[in-house]
Amino acid sequence: MTLPTPPTRRRFLQSAGIVGGASILAPSLIGCVAPGPRWTRDPFTLGIASGDPRPDGFVLWTRLAPDPLSADPATPGGMSSGGVPVAYEISTDPSMSVLVRSGTATALAEDAWSVHLEITGLPPGRPYWYRFASGAAQSGIGRTMTAPAIGAPLDKMRFGFVSCSNYEVGYFSAYRHLANEQPDLVVFLGDYIYEHVGRRPGVRLHSDGVAAKDLRTYRNRYAQYHTDPDLQSVHAAAPCLMTWDDHEVQNDYANDLSETFDDPAQFLKRRAAAYRAYYEHMPVRPSLSYPNGPDMRLYDRFSFGDLIEFSVLDGRQYRSSQACYARPNNGGGHVETDASCPERLEPARSMLGPAQEKWLFDGLAKATTRWNVIAQDVLMAELRERQSDGRIAHWTDDWNGYPACRERLLRHIRDASVRNPVVIGGDSHTFWANELKLDPGGPTVATEFVGTSITSYGPSYDAWVSYLPDNPHVKFVDSRQRGYVAVEVTPQRMDVAMRVVSDATDPKATLSTLRNFIVEDKRAGPVSA
Ligand SMILES: [Fe+2]
């Protein structure tokens, strides 16, 4: 590790107790020097984060990285040896004056000097503030929360959901604006990083200049994203729930099959590196998610009182192959008609794999909350894409590539009378508001909202609009702007706001609201507000 220069002061939100350069702006209860080395550079360059809020605790995360983009594989993040003490404090007030928990963890080389603290034993349903220190260096202060007790009455909850933040093609103003909303929770739905390097000129460059393929390059990719002040601000503002999509590993991969037809054994080595780097940079629970080679359990369930439960899915690790994968150019998503690829319709195909399907179905059947959100990576609604020759085709990489699995899920939701099921997703860089149906003319079984990208380029709006006549269950589509979705839930209704930034290439982009929808209790489907 490197030695003494003063910690640099970083940009953080300066409202509601989220302050940058906490060693300067907040009184130190950790003391002038916590256990740890004499740092020459700030080790908290990647910010802090919290996640997995439970009624009695949450996960706190940071990673020590005084040289976050170190090109030397022997010194990840500029660290080189041994376990390093990292002190932490948890307070019930933003100025860190009423401590309810403190202690010292050890950041280990094998985890790239990341720290994942599983905090338990705290009272439910209230905000907390936290920070880290090592030696004389201190992190900023973050706000997190414990969930209300299971079944406890809850009148209101606000959350945002986000996806597809490509560092190269824009600035993360959308994250900054979501942080300013001070939500109770942020749900990341995938493409938190992009593994490739610029296909078009962007506004800034991915470090290393190569596609991430091994542990060093995946680590540096995640580290670079975490150096972004707007990304740091959204993590400091609220706890998060995490799932991934494809670009955390490789575009359009499916389980052990790569878009580029790599040998599956080789591809699993790449997936192991990608999953490990993901773990090292996210506030996920080690007791659930500590990676084991190419395997990492991410899907999980989170309840907030009697109001809302989130089933967070993993749509990549366990899915069946891309339909008709074996053909040239079919490694990733592609469009197929029923005649060209009957395999797409096979009943055994699954987006989730049998174990996750069973877990999801069991959880939905037992759910007692007023609202039940399925948080996952890709578009679920059927999308009939009429081709220039008049034939109808479907895209294979989202749920349209796994229609039997979608039908099983929607049938289960209907048969189990799941209350107020709402699916949220990302991936398509497009806002969608959809009715989810088992039959085109039948009743609406569930509601779907998909958020646009934080920065990634949107696909052709004209193409989406041309599909609308064949998809009357699609109530809204727009791929022309970047942003996120802000949701407020009460027992009576869900209010959904599609927020957009003025220009993703402007680091000072302003915010506006593109559209509002509501979902009423016991009435599936989005209603324009
Ligand atoms: Fe994406």
Per-residue pLDDT tens digits for 240-288? 999 999 999 999 999 999 999 999 999 999 999 999 999 999 999 999 9
Question: For residue 114, with 0-12 CB atoms within 10 Å meaning exposed, 13-18 middle and 19 or more buried, which class applies?
Answer: buried
Strands (E), 451-492: 474-478, 483-489
Contacts of 52 (CB under 8 A, 6+ apart): 58, 59, 239, 241, 283, 284, 285, 300, 302
Q: What are phi and psi of 494, to 5 degrees?
A: -110, 125
Ligand 1 centroid–CA 480 distance in Å is 14
Q: Is 316 left (phi over 0), alpha (psi -120 to 50) or beta?
A: alpha
Q: Is 151 left (phi over 0), alpha (psi -120 to 50) or beta?
A: left
- Specify the pLDDT at position 25: 35
- Measured distance CA(157)–CA(135) in Å, rounded: 38
Ligand 1 centroid–CA 324 distance in Å is 23
Ligand 1 centroid–CA 160 distance in Å is 17
Cβ atoms of 63 and 79 closer than 8 Å? no
pLDDT tens-digit profile, the chain (529 residues): 332 222 332 222 222 222 333 333 344 555 557 888 999 999 999 999 999 999 999 999 999 999 999 999 899 999 998 899 999 999 999 999 999 999 999 999 999 999 999 999 999 999 999 999 999 999 999 999 999 999 999 999 999 999 999 999 999 999 999 999 999 999 999 999 999 998 777 899 998 899 999 999 999 999 999 999 999 999 999 999 999 999 999 999 999 999 999 999 999 999 999 999 999 999 999 999 999 999 999 999 999 999 999 999 999 999 999 999 989 889 999 999 999 999 999 999 999 999 999 999 999 999 999 999 999 999 999 999 999 999 999 999 999 999 999 999 999 999 999 999 999 999 999 999 999 999 999 999 999 999 999 999 999 999 999 999 999 999 999 999 999 999 999 999 999 999 999 999 999 999 999 999 999 999 999 999 9
- Specify the pLDDT at position 31: 55
- Measured distance CA(268)–CA(260) in Å, rounded: 13
Whose tokens are 């958020």? That residue is 451
Percent above pLDDT 70 for the chain: 94
- Measured distance CA(304)–CA(203) in Å, rounded: 39
Cβ atoms of 30 and 133 closer than 8 Å? yes
- Specify the pLDDT at position 76: 95
Ligand 1 centroid–CA 424 distance in Å is 15
Ligand 1 centroid–CA 128 distance in Å is 32
> What angle, 0 to 180 degrees and rounded to 10, lies between the N-to-C axes of helices 403-415 and 354-366?
20
Q: Could you count the other beta carbons within 10 Å of the beta carbon of residue 413?
A: 23
Ligand 1 centroid–CA 164 distance in Å is 4
Ligand 1 centroid–CA 368 distance in Å is 33
pTM, 2 dp? 0.94
Copy the structure tokens of residue 523: 């009435």
- Specify the pLDDT at position 193: 98
- Measured distance CA(88)–CA(117) in Å, rounded: 9
Ligand 1 centroid–CA 367 distance in Å is 31
- Measured distance CA(444)–CA(434) in Å, rounded: 9
Copy the structure tokens of residue 324: 């008709």
Ligand 1 centroid–CA 194 distance in Å is 8
Ligand 1 centroid–CA 321 distance in Å is 19
State the amino acid at position 55 in one-letter form: P
Ligand 1 centroid–CA 277 distance in Å is 19
Ligand 1 centroid–CA 247 distance in Å is 7
- Specify the pLDDT at position 82: 87
Ligand 1 centroid–CA 286 distance in Å is 26
Torsion of CA 456, 433, 237, 205, to 10 degrees: 0
Ligand 1 centroid–CA 429 distance in Å is 6
Ligand 1 centroid–CA 467 distance in Å is 21
- Measured distance CA(173)–CA(509) in Å, rounded: 6
Ligand 1 centroid–CA 323 distance in Å is 20
Cβ atoms of 281 and 314 closer than 8 Å? no
Ligand 1 centroid–CA 375 distance in Å is 16
Ligand 1 centroid–CA 107 distance in Å is 32
Ligand 1 centroid–CA 151 distance in Å is 35
